[in-house]
Structure 1
Amino acid sequence: MEEMLEVVEGKVDWKGRSAFKQKHGGTKSSLLTLVTYGFDQMANFALAVNLTTYFNTVMHLELADAANQLTNYMGTCYILSIPMAVLADTCLGRVKTVIISGCLEFLALILLMIQAHYPKLKPPLCNIFDKQSHCETVGGGNAALLYVPLYALAIGNAGIKAALPPHGADQFDEKDPKEAMQISSFFNQLLLGSSLGIAASLTLVVWIQDDKGWDWGFGVSSAAILFGMVMFVAGLPRYRMHIISGSNAIVQVLQVYVAATRNRNLVLPEDPADLYEIERDKEAVMEEDFLPHRNIFRFLDKAAIQQTPCRQVEIPEASSPWKLCTVTQVENAKVILSMIPIFCCTVNMSLCFAQLQTFSIQQGLTMDTKLTPSFNIPPPSLTIIPVFFLILMAPIYDKILVPFARKLTGIPTGITPLQRVGVGLVLSIISMAVAALVEVKRKGVARDHNMLDATPVLQPLPISTFWLSFQFFIFGIADLFAYVGLLEFFYSEAPKALKSVSTCFLWSSMGMGYFLSTIIVKTVNSATKGITRNGGWLIGNNINRNHLNLFYWLLSILSFINFFIYIFATQKYSYRNHNPAIDDSR
């Protein structure tokens, strides 16, 4: 009976045996990865929007320092996804990476729960808004107990981000036309699963953190990640798993740059066929292990210049891979280099998103949070507005809008990934402009009621916190376009050897945006130190005395400039698959 089963090339089951289409992978297996990712988001996203409050009110850091600590933490989560992806591809495999990362997250959250529970492990209670009080900030061993688990949590979160999405895509065969179409749908469903987890985090977990205590909040997060891991492990017998290559694709790309530099004085042959390449095996060609030469970034072709005019069957023993590379290696390096401008232009959007998770939450703390006369909505939960919109729109976009747009454009995904990202960038500009206008109104209310010097948390302004929903709502739509657009772009354009690592380019872009936020905040405070009464636009704990509106306008202007740079970069970009429908529509 087993002889009739269809083998999935390049994939194995959890015991290292050949994977079969009838027994492994498919929609049911990918669903388990979506559920796991949703529980991971439930465990972590509450920290992304509420950790500033924890640093500020419990650990007694100043507002700007608390915001920077959050952006540093979030940046680390995303940046570390690249080395975690390399580790998954060359050593552990994606499944082991997910399991180890989940266990690390669980232990880190347990340690944070213990610190939040015992008063001796955190600074004494005090009023941080009273200038006469000398509040003790976290330090010494307690600081270590805070930051070591926090950054262990960042490592675990990076591992989940690096390995889980590509593992979900592994459940479909790229060479099967029917299954290949499901890969694009999987990334849309990944956004839906992420949004459902975020919704639970913003409602249940944030409410528990604010009303029941941070120890209970960390406890619920640890339970969520534990349940997610149980669900993931339950699917082991059904998964299709990629075969660990043992070779580092990133190193192979670096070899091209080193070899091209070392061969910079050599003359390129007139015929690209004279460049070095191993003999093409018919089966390998069918699997697209080889890439054809393209006349872009010709300086990198010098890495493939061989000393003899004839083509080589195998690499000469005397030649080092740091001196002579194959044409396929060079083309891989060209693909990565051509995507860098797109990558850089998306960093600014993450910079804007960081402000919605830090300063916008602090704005909400100063406003009227009553949903009903007897119920107050926690300001961090305001981000549920765009999340609910994403939950509603993600399936509509995938099942209705994409097929409709496909008929109009002839593009399988409706619009190109770069067009989708461009829409997201435009909406991020609008979001920051709206945020500036809302802040002007909020400060106007504080001025009209003589509350500029009032303690923000103890004396909320007579203006509803739902005014902030406008900026959250617009940025939510931006996320719908840009988030999946970037995942699809990096995954589809990257060569076969770099697909798993390429999905982490999105996370790295977001990580750099968070780190850039820290730099921007410090730079703005330093530049405005002598022209404001507070000593800087964003200095101090009283946001009513800050100039957050000017900061938002600055980000909107920077985003506007960034968008025009993005347009220039996309006009120069050539899709690797040379699809005329895509190229003509861009």
Structure 2
Amino acid sequence: MMLIWLVTLVPSTIWAQINTLFVKQGTTMNRSLGSSFQIPAASLGSFVTLSMLISVPMYDRYFVPFMRRKTGNPRGITLLQRLGIGFVIQVIAIAIAYAVEVRRMHVIRVHQITGPKQIVPMNIFWLLPQYVLLGIADVFNAIGLLEFFYDQSPEDMQSLGTTFFTSGIGIGNFLNSFLVTMVDKLTDRGQHKSWIGDNLNDSHLDYYYGFLLVISTLNLGAFIWASSKYVYKRETKEVNEGCIEMESKALEISPLGLQV
């Protein structure tokens, strides 16, 4: 379980971008809606919640029954398969974030924008797909992680399942802060521009998203390897319970056919 917990730290770091770099990125873009109203950059985070509210009932109503018929698993898919799907969606989301930032940097070069408060003529809704995908990924990740740690913990330690889940989120946020600080210091040397400077219009946030894409892809590979080595606790228990149930049914009937 500790190995599975370790490979969930990078996805927690990706999740932390929703309230940090995604918002800062959005403040540089065109947020006008109509002639007099500007969309707050942080408000796009509401689409994460909205996509989760839509995805959860669809997952329970359609996805689970469909996969249950295919696999015979009461859950539809295993706990680790659920996490794996969420991690794949996260990789796709950060790849889209990278592509959008490459597009934003292209617009900046075309219009020769360098000022920190200059607005890039690119609509903020370009960021919407990455928010929506991270919300969908969280349907698989957050619920799947909580269920996994609770279900797979020893019987007398199941309360630690919630602790594993929340501690992973907390450490992921600390890891995000550490990465941002270290990348900023290492890239801001000599004549090189910082990847994450105060002025995102004169930085290389696309490089940082590319870096996150690489480490999240490598982490996905590590998760697949760890999942292949993992043995579910419940499988053994269900087998034992099945054997006990069969034995008890056999004892209910005597050799003469009389009820005991």
Shorter-chain TM-score range: 0.7 to 0.9
Partner of 1:482: 141
Aligned residue among 445, 454, 467 for 2:107: 445
Mapped to 1, the partners of 2:192 and 2:67 lie a distance apart of 53
> Aligned residue for 1:571?
228
> Is the Cα contact below 8 Å between 1:343 and 1:505 reproduced in 2?
yes
| Secondary structure of the structure 2 residue equivalent to 1:503 | helix
Task: Tell me the distance in 2 between the aligned counterparts of 1:433 and 1:364.
Answer: 17
Stretch deviating more after TM superposition (459-468 or 367-376): 367-376
1:505 aligns with 2:164: yes
Counting only pairs closer than 5 Å after superposition, residues 315-334 of structure 1 correspond to structure 2 as: none
Question: Within 5 A, what are the aligned runs for 1:515-530?
Answer: 515-530=174-189
Contact 1:383 1:469 in 2 (8 A): no
Q: In structure 2, give the amino acid aligned to 1:340.
A: M
Letter in 1 for 2:213: S
Q: 373, 393, 400: which is aligned to 2:35?
A: 373
1:409 aligned residue? 71
Q: Secondary structure at the match of 1:462?
A: strand
How far 1:527 moved relative to its partner? Answer: 2.1
Give the secondary-structure state (helix, strand or coil) at the position aligned to 1:578.
helix
Is 1:348 the counterpart of 2:10? The answer is yes
Change (3 A) 1:501 1:449: same
Asked whether the 8 Å contact 1:438–1:467 carries over to 2, the reply is yes
Task: State the 1:377 CA deviation.
Answer: 1.5
C-alpha separation in 1, matches of 2:187 and 2:160: 40
CA distance in 2, matches of 1:414, 1:579: 19
1:422 to 79, 84, 96: 84
Alignment deviations for residues 486-517 of structure 1 (CA, whole Å, 9 cap, x no partner): 11111111122211121221111111111111
Q: CA deviation at 1:580?
A: 10
How far did 1:407 drift?
A: 2.3
Code of the aligned partner of 1:443: M
Aligned partners of 2:71 and 2:192: how far apart in 1? Answer: 55
Larger Rg: 1
Q: Per-residue CA shift, 1:191-227, capped at 9, x if unaligned?
A: xxxxxxxxxxxxxxxxxxxxxxxxxxxxxxxxxxxxx
Q: Secondary structure of 2:4's partner?
A: helix
Q: Aligned pair in 2 of structure 1 residues 531, 410: CA closer, same or farther (>3 Å)?
A: farther
Q: Note if contact 2:116-2:200 (Cα within 8 Å) is conserved in structure 1.
A: no
Deviations 1:306-342 (A, max 9, x none): xxxxxxxxxxxxxxxxxxxxxxxxxxxxxxxxx0010
**1:209-228 counterparts in 2 under 5 A?**
none
Which whole-Å CA distance do the structure 1 matches of 2:144 and 2:169 have between them? 14
SS in 2 for 1:451: coil
SS in 2 for 1:577: helix
DSSP-derived class of the 2:234 partner? coil
Q: Distance in 1 between matches of 2:57 and 2:157?
A: 29
- Contact 1:445 / 1:463 at 8 angstroms: preserved in 2? yes
Partner of 2:25: 363
Normalising to structure 2: TM-score of the pair?
Answer: 0.86
Contact 2:97–2:209 under 8 Å retained in 1: yes
Structure 2 unaligned residues grouped into runs of 5+: 239-260
- Give, in whole Å, the separation in 2 of the partners of 1:559 and 1:433: 10
1:458-503 CA distances to partner (integer Å, 9 max, x unpaired)?
A: x322110001112112212211111111111111111222111212
Are residues 548 and 401 of structure 1, via their aligned partners in 2, closer, same or farther at CA, if it must alter by over 3 Å? same
Matches within 5 A, 1:49-448: 339-448=1-110
The unaligned stretches of length 5 or more in structure 1 are: 1-338, 582-586
Distance 2:212 2:73 in 1: 34
Per-residue CA deviation, residues 276-303 of structure 1 (Å, 9 max, x unaligned), is xxxxxxxxxxxxxxxxxxxxxxxxxxxx
Alpha-carbon shift at residue 438 of structure 1 (Å): 0.7
Is 1:493 matched with 2:152?
yes
TM-score (norm 1): 0.39
Q: CA RMSD in A?
A: 1.9
In structure 1, how many angstroms separate the alpha carbons of the residues matched to 2:236 and 2:206? 44
Say whether the 8 Å CA contact 1:451–1:461 is kept in structure 2. yes
Cα distance in 1 between the residues matched to 2:134 and 2:116? 29
Q: Deviations over 1:369-390 (max 9, x none)?
A: 1233333211111122232121
Letter in 2 for 1:493: Q
Alignment deviations for residues 221-259 of structure 1 (CA, whole Å, 9 cap, x no partner): xxxxxxxxxxxxxxxxxxxxxxxxxxxxxxxxxxxxxxx
Task: For 2:74, give the aligned amino acid.
Answer: P
Equivalent position SS for 1:373: coil
Name the aligned partner's letter for residue 561 of structure 1.
Answer: L
SS at match of 2:33: strand
Shift, 1:532, TM fit: 4.6
Match of 2:249 in 1: none
Corresponding residue number in structure 1 for 2:196: 538
What's the counterpart of residue 124 of structure 2?
Answer: 465
1:189 match: none
Q: 2:208 aligns with which of 544, 551, 575?
A: 551
The one-letter amino acid of 1:455's match is: P
How far residue 399 of structure 1 moved from its aligned partner, in angstroms, is 2.7
Specify the code of the residue in structure 2 equivalent to 1:462: P
Larger helix proportion of the pair: 2
Query: CA 1:370–1:573 in 2, change beyond 3 Å: closer, same or farther?
Result: same
How far the C-alpha of 1:445 sits from its partner, in A, is 1.4
